[in-house]
């Protein structure tokens, strides 16, 4: 099949408006994936108090830290820079002593000064509110990991969102040329399989810490598939020569 007469079906021969449309989508998705990585590094990546995503980060995020409270874990991790050392030490001591009502008078001003700007229902409903003793005492309890409510909420958002991203990514990539059809099909399918592995591992890790490895494997898998589809599509639309060349979609890239 000569690509000059099949512009609708392969990336090198697409019309300029269609290439522009696909490129705009790919650029936005590329920036989006970078923002997602940054968000992971700044939240889950700081769960153990050290920069960078590790198995311990995943365990603390989903399984919890049975020797500590969520308040203490956050103050030693992603929230470490949100309060001075003395204030953090006071909050941690209050949590370790049972988060008593009697001690609330001492720690309430610290919560007001350092936490309420974000941790209130009016400002950021997605974060645990810390405006009252009852709310603060809840996060000062032993860290039991992610709750069923939060796992359900985050799981359905990721399943719908990532499926929509990759159905369009896969459609664009499916028009690539000189790539074996079986290989192409595997690359298209990988994100859907690995997002199921990723999200399933959240639930399993919340019960058994050993499944944390699957969270890292799942995320790495669909990120790599994203990179392959993104760079292949951009290369074939804008760099691969189009004039006088016949493309066979059932061959390997040469």
Residues 6+ apart with CB under 8 A from 177: 3, 10, 11, 12, 236, 240, 247, 248, 249
pTM over 0.85: no
Is residue 21's pLDDT more than 80? yes
Q: What is the pLDDT of residue 242?
A: 64
Best-predicted range by mean pLDDT among 4-13, 15-24, 43-52?
15-24
Q: Which two tokens stand for residue 114?
A: 């350092």
pLDDT, one tens digit per residue, over 199-211 is: 999 999 989 989 9
Other CB atoms within 10 A of residue 117 CB:
11
Q: Are 119 and 125 in contact (CB under 8 A)?
A: no
Average pLDDT over the chain reads 84
pLDDT tier, 160 (very low <50, low <70, confident <90, very high otherwise): very high
Is residue 138's pLDDT more than 60? yes
Percent of the chain with pLDDT over 90: 45
Is residue 252's pLDDT more than 50? no
Q: Return d(Cα 183, Cα 174) in angstroms, integer.
A: 11
- What residues does each domain of the chain span? 3-43+146-238, 67-139
Residues belonging to the chain: 254
DSSP letter at 239? T
């Amino acid at each position: 099949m000569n690509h000059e007469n099949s512009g609708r079906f392969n990336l090198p021969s697409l019309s300029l408006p269609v290439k522009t449309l696909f490129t705009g989508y790919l650029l936005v998705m590329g920036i989006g994936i970078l923002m997602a990585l940054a968000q992971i590094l700044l939240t889950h990546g700081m769960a153990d108090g050290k920069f960078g995503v590790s198995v311990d980060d995943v365990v603390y995020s989903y399984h919890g830290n049975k020797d500590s409270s969520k308040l203490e874990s956050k103050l030693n991790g992603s929230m470490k820079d949100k309060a001075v050392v003395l204030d953090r030490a006071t909050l941690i001591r209050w949590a370790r002593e049972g988060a008593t009502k009697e001690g609330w008078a001492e720690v309430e001003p610290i919560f007001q000064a350092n936490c309420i700007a974000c941790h209130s229902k009016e400002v950021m409903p997605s974060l645990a509110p810390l405006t009252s003793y009852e709310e603060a005492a809840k996060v000062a309890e032993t860290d039991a990991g992610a709750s069923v409510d939060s796992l359900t909420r985050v799981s359905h958002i990721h399943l719908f969102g990532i499926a929509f991203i990759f159905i369009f990514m896969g459609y664009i990539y499916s028009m690539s040329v000189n790539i074996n059809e079986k290989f192409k099909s595997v690359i298209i399918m990988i994100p859907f399989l690995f997002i199921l592995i990723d999200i399933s591992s959240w639930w399993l890790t919340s019960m058994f810490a050993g499944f944390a490895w699957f969270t890292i494997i799942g995320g790495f898998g669909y990120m790599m598939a994203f990179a392959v589809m993104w760079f292949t599509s951009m290369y074939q639309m804008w760099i691969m020569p189009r004039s006088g060349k016949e493309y066979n979609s059932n061959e390997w890239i040469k």
